[in-house]
Structure 1
Amino acid sequence: MPIKPFKDLSLVDDFMFSEVMRRPENIKPFLEAVLEKKIQRVVTIDKQKDLKDTYDAHGIRLDVYLEDENHTKYDVEVQARLHRKLEKRIRYYLSGIDRHSLEMNEDYEKMSDSFVIFICVEDYYGAGLAVYERESHIKGAPEIPYEDGSHAYILNANFTKENGNPAVLDFLRYVRASYKGEPYDISESVYLKQIDEAVSEIKEDSGREMEYMTLAMKMMDERKDAFEQGEARGRAKGRAEGRTDEQIKIVKRMLARGLSLEEISDMIDVGLDEVKKLSEQE
Structure 2
Amino acid sequence: MRKNENELVAKITDDPVFSWVMEQDDNCCKLLQAILPELNITRVEFETQKRLKFHPEKRGTIPDILAYDQEGRVYDIELQVLQNKFLAQRIRYYFSMIDQNLLMSGGKYRDLPETYVIFILPNDPYDQDEKYYEFAFQQLKRKNPLVLDTKQHAIILNASGSIGEVTPRLQGFFDLIHDKISTKDEFIEKLNREVKKFGTDPGRRKELMDYQMRLDDEREFGKEQGKQKEQISSIKRLIKMARQFKASDDFILKQLMEDYGDNFSKSELQELIKKNK
If the length of structure 1 is used for normalisation, what is the TM-score? 0.70
Corresponding residue to 1:169 among 159, 168, 171: 171
Counterpart of 1:198, as a letter, is E
SS of aligned partner of 1:184: coil
d(CA) in 1 for partners of 2:64 and 2:118? 11
Query: Does 1:264 pair with 2:225?
Result: no
CA 1:132–1:213: 2 relative to 1, 3 Å: same
Aligned-pair CA distance for 1:174: 2.1
Partner Cα separation in structure 2 for residue 56 and residue 141 of structure 1: 47
Q: Is the CA contact (8 Å cut-off) linking 1:81 and 1:122 kept in structure 2? A: no
The answer to whether 1:199 aligns with 2:191 is no
Q: Which structure shows the bigger proportion of residues in strand conformation?
A: 1
Cα contact 1:102–1:110 (8 A) shared by 2: no
Instruction: Give 1:162 shift.
Output: 3.2
Any residues of structure 2 matched to 1:7-18 within 5 Å, and which?
A: 7-18=8-19
What does residue 78 of structure 1 align with?
79
- Please report how far the alpha carbon of residue 3 of structure 1 lies from its aligned counterpart in structure 2 after TM superposition: 6.8
Give the SS at the match of 1:154.
strand
In the alignment of these two chains, the number of paired residues is 229
Q: Name 2:101's counterpart in structure 1.
A: 100
Q: For 1:102, what is the secondary structure of its paired residue?
A: helix
- Alpha-carbon deviations, 1:35-87, whole Å to 9, x = none? 122222112x2222222334775632211111122222111111112220201
Which region of structure 1 is more displaced relative to structure 2, 155-164 or 87-96? Answer: 155-164
Match of residue 273, structure 1, among 207, 227, 235: 227
Identity of aligned residues (%): 26
Aligned-pair CA distance for 1:10 = 0.2
Query: In structure 2, which of residues 118, 132, 148 is the aligned counterpart of residue 146 of structure 1?
Result: 148
Partner of 1:151, secondary structure, is: strand
Q: 1:30 to 1:213 in 2, by over 3 A?
A: same
CA deviation profile, 1:203-224 (whole Å, cap 9, x unmatched): 222232344456677xx5xxxx
> SS of the counterpart of 1:76?
strand
Report which of the two structures shows the higher radius of gyration computed on alpha carbons.
2
Relative distance call for 1:23 and 1:277 in structure 2 (3 A) is farther
Letter of the 2:16 counterpart: F
1:209 aligns with 2:202: no
CA distance in 1, matches of 2:165, 2:73: 25
Q: Which amino acid aligns with 2:162?
A: T
Whole-angstrom CA distance in 1 between matches of 2:196 and 2:144: 47
